[in-house]
Amino acid sequence: METSSEIPSQSMPTTDAFRTKSLEVADIVVLVLYFVFVLAVGLWSMWRTKRNTVTGYFLAGKSMVWWPVGASLFSSNVGSGHFIGLAGSGAASGIAVTAYEWNGLFCVLALAWFFLPIYISAGVTTMPEYLQKRFGGKRIQIFLSILYLFIYIFTKISVDIYAGALFIQQALQWDLYVAVCGLLAITAIYTVAGGLAAVIYTDTLQTVIMILGALILMGYSFVEIGGYEALTEKYFNAIPKTNLGNSSCGLPREDAFHIFRDPITSDLPWPGVLVGMTIPSLWYWCTDQVIVQRSLSAKNLSHAKGGSLMAAFLKVLPLFVMVLPGMISRVLFTDQVACADPVICKQICGNPSGCSDIAYPKLVIELLPTGLRGLMMSVMIAALMSSLTSIFNSASTIFTMDLWRHIRPRAMEWELMIVGRVFVLVLVVVSILWIPLVQASQGGQLFIYIQSISSYLQPPVTVVFMAGCFWKRTNEKGAFWGMTTGLVVGVTRMVLDFIYVAPQCDQPDTRPGVVKYVHYLYLSMILGALTLITVVVVSLFTEPPSKENVSRLTWFTRFDAGVENLEQVTEESNMQNGVRSLESIPEKIESTSSTEVLSENATDKHSFLSRLKKATLWLCGMDRREEDGLGPAPPPPLEPADKLLYERPVIRHILNSSVIICMSGAVFLWAYFA
């Protein structure tokens, strides 16, 4: 077999060149200017958005049109962690990882066409709130809130911090943990200047520049390697010098250019890709607070569908702008990206499990010209900032409003605001401590780590949501015990994965059979079936749910007139979930602490401290304009479902035709690359 020595030497920098090349002054200037521009956009969107009401704070006033919603859905999903993870998995094992993206294409359409009509008709703001309305009681709400926090830590925050730190490490040659600290310092500044509406607008800006930059880098990559045909030939010859010739370490997979792979021996078996992958994907796109929150911010259902369609079309791109460039990076920088010796890998990227996750940063640093390189780096890091702030906000809100208020139901608003901010710091610390496990898991492939953890924790939640949305007979007992049973099994397997780490390629595999032979995608299928059976059996053998737990809360009852005193039920439910407290924060602050501000202004309107305090309140969205009134605003009545879900016939037909075209194109791509 030919070796990678046939590749021109100028395409393969030495380890020394790899270590010393970094951003130039012009790149750093572009990076700084870009951050200033993004912060300016964030401040502008904060100024024009009312953030001291529930809809203003959570849903950007429900005023977003389809294109910023679609851009924000795509940007929230595809941040720097995706660029790092998809390119890294492409470099390590080929194009099969693209299945996650094209699977998500169908799931984001399912969100708009099947799940959003239920959420909108129910008048909910958060996902724990939906389950509390649908099943009643508190234990499912608390259970789900705790689980969401664990998922955010295991699969979102720590992964995003690690991915951003890898970019900084490759660009500036900093130590990984120094890069983490620098990243968090920038994030803290960005968080102060940001808001939920600001996130959507900055996401839109970053999506445009991210796609343009990724397309430009893709062009440079294919020019450098000589086109797609050259990639299909040279990829199989990209064998690192550390490969000893008598092992599989560092060898490319023979099925690298196929999505459907062997159901028994492959890294991504095709039955698991079709079924097991869909279950956690439905959780992410249809029940995750961060994603659903963006869709609920649309001004009506038609705009929400349009946003999902835009995100679905954009989901076609990752194969071409992330996965294939990652494979090209392996060819161009074989000894670094595909290193097979743990000692050398540790020297190159700080991770003895492998360095495939540096594939995309290597392309950015090595191929792009000065200036454009700085812009691409800033887009990746800024997208990470946006993702982190969204996750921090969602996690903090869930902890403060769904958990802390159950512990201290009489907590004052200032206490809730302080608890929310302190909890963000706790999340950051825990996530940093989790980073070494992220590095070591799944052979150094970041994206595979994310998907394996998702397959252990998310299927039970997915099944409970689907049963609640589409089967009226599902009750609280069935949902609770189904979720509990599935999660006990899933967490057990996750713990076993961390105890029995996958061996290096040249080491014997001594793991237990349940870890060694049961692929995580197959386990996802098992967890889904186990949870569904438990939900159905327990629900059928216990009392049916009450009318108020079904009306306007399932697909078949979304157009119901509702139970009696529906407004009162809505208000009580919102109060139980702590949502109203955010609405009343500005008014109650006015009656407690802002009185001091007013008295200070009355005596000294030019007081520096009073101005600083007012500016801080404004940044936190806790100011109160004069026209807002003095007392807490009553909750808005829940409008009739016919009005909430109304779509103009012409627009509905256009959207339905577009979704058929989109799905047909996706099926063709699946068939072509299968």
- Please give the span between the terminal C-alpha atoms of the chain, in angstroms, as a whole number: 26
> Quick check: 458 and 283 in contact, CB under 8 A?
yes
Residue 100 has pLDDT above 70, yes or no: yes
Which CATH code of 3.40.718.10, 3.40.50.620, 1.20.1730.10, 3.90.420.10 fits the domain covering 10-560+640-673?
A: 1.20.1730.10
Q: Kindly report the average pLDDT of the chain as a whole number.
A: 77
Residue 441 has pLDDT above 90, yes or no: no
> d(Cα 312, Cα 315) in Å, to the nearest integer?
5
Query: pLDDT tens-digit profile of 146-185?
Result: 888 888 877 777 777 777 777 777 667 777 677 777 766 6
Q: Which H, E and C letters describe 22-82, residue by residue?
A: CCCHHHHHHHHHHHHHHHHHHHHHHHHCCCCCHHHHHHHHHCECHHHHHHHHHHHHCCHHH
108-112, 212-216, 240-244, range with greatest mean pLDDT: 108-112
Residue 630 has pLDDT above 80, yes or no: no
Backbone angles phi, psi at 132, to 5 degrees: -65, -40
Residues recorded for the chain:
674
Kindly state the average pLDDT of the residues 86-100: 89
- Give which of 386, 157, 597 is closest to 378, Cα–Cα: 386
More confident residue, 495 or 446: 495
Q: Sorting pLDDT into bands at 50, 70 and 90, what band is 266? A: confident
What pLDDT is stored for residue 565 in this prediction? 41
Residue 312 has pLDDT above 60, yes or no: yes
What pLDDT is stored for residue 506 in this prediction? 67
Cβ-based neighbours of 425, under 8 Å, separated by 6 or more = none
Residue 59 has pLDDT above 80, yes or no: no
What pLDDT is stored for residue 115 in this prediction? 95
Query: pLDDT tens-digit profile of 571-584?
Result: 444 444 444 444 44
Query: pLDDT tens-digit profile of 446-488?
Result: 667 777 888 898 999 999 999 999 999 999 999 999 999 999 9
More confident residue, 181 or 536: 536
What pLDDT is stored for residue 405 in this prediction? 77
Orientation of helix 372-397 relative to helix 66-77, angle to 10°: 90
H or E segment at 156?
A: none
- What percentage of the chain exceeds 90 in pLDDT? 29
What pLDDT is stored for residue 189 in this prediction? 57
Cα 467 from chain centroid (whole Å): 24
Query: pLDDT tens-digit profile of 108-145?
Result: 999 999 999 999 998 887 788 899 899 988 888 888 88
Query: pLDDT tens-digit profile of 593-614?
Result: 444 444 444 444 456 666 666 6
Backbone angles phi, psi at 269, to 5 degrees: -65, 140
What pLDDT is stored for residue 67 in this prediction? 87
Residue 665 has pLDDT above 60, yes or no: yes
Kindly state the average pLDDT of the residues 624-629: 41
What pLDDT is stored for residue 579 in this prediction? 42
Three-class SS of residue 378? Answer: helix
Residue 332 has pLDDT above 80, yes or no: yes
- Among 30-44, 63-77, 256-270, 281-295, the least confident range: 30-44
What pLDDT is stored for residue 43 in this prediction? 65
More confident residue, 633 or 559: 559
Kindly state the average pLDDT of the residues 378-383: 71
Q: Which residues of 33-61 are buried (b: 16+ CB within 10 A; e: fewer)?
A: ebbeebbebbeebbeebebbbbbbbbbbb
- Among 77-91, 132-146, 233-247, 488-502, the least confident range: 233-247
Three-class SS of residue 261? Answer: strand
61-75, 301-315, 488-502, range with greatest mean pLDDT: 301-315
- Give which of 575, 588, 596 is closest to 629, Cα–Cα: 588
Q: Sorting pLDDT into bands at 50, 70 and 90, what band is 322? A: very high
- Among 374-383, 437-446, 571-580, the least confident range: 571-580
Residue 252 has pLDDT above 80, yes or no: yes
Residue 296 has pLDDT above 70, yes or no: yes
Strand partners for 261: 269
Residue 15 has pLDDT above 60, yes or no: no
- Give which of 121, 41, 95 is closest to 639, Cα–Cα: 121
> d(Cα 148, Cα 50) in Å, to the nearest integer?
27
> d(Cα 260, Cα 265) in Å, to the nearest integer?
12
Helix ranges (H only) for 288-412 are: 289-296, 301-314, 318, 324-332, 334-337, 342-349, 359-367, 372-397, 405-407
Q: Sorting pLDDT into bands at 50, 70 and 90, what band is 13? A: very low
Residue 60 has pLDDT above 60, yes or no: no
Kindly state the average pLDDT of the residues 360-381: 82
Residue 17 has pLDDT above 50, yes or no: no
Judged by phi (left if over 0) then psi (alpha if -120 to 50, else beta), residue 595 lies in alpha
What pLDDT is stored for residue 244 in this prediction? 57
Kindly state the average pLDDT of the residues 534-551: 94
Q: Sorting pLDDT into bands at 50, 70 and 90, what band is 316? A: very high
Kindly state the average pLDDT of the residues 264-284: 90
> Quick check: 402 and 128 in contact, CB under 8 A?
yes
Domain spans in the chain, listed from the N-terminal domain onward:
10-560+640-673, 566-628
Kindly state the average pLDDT of the residues 518-540: 95
Q: Which H, E and C letters describe 397-435, residue by residue?
A: HHHHHHHHHHHCCCCCHHHHHHHHHHHHHHHHHHHHHHH
The number of beta carbons lying within 10 Å of the beta carbon of residue 658 is 17
Token digits of residue 393 = 């906000």
More confident residue, 208 or 557: 557
Token digits of residue 464 = 């409970």
Kindly state the average pLDDT of the residues 370-383: 77
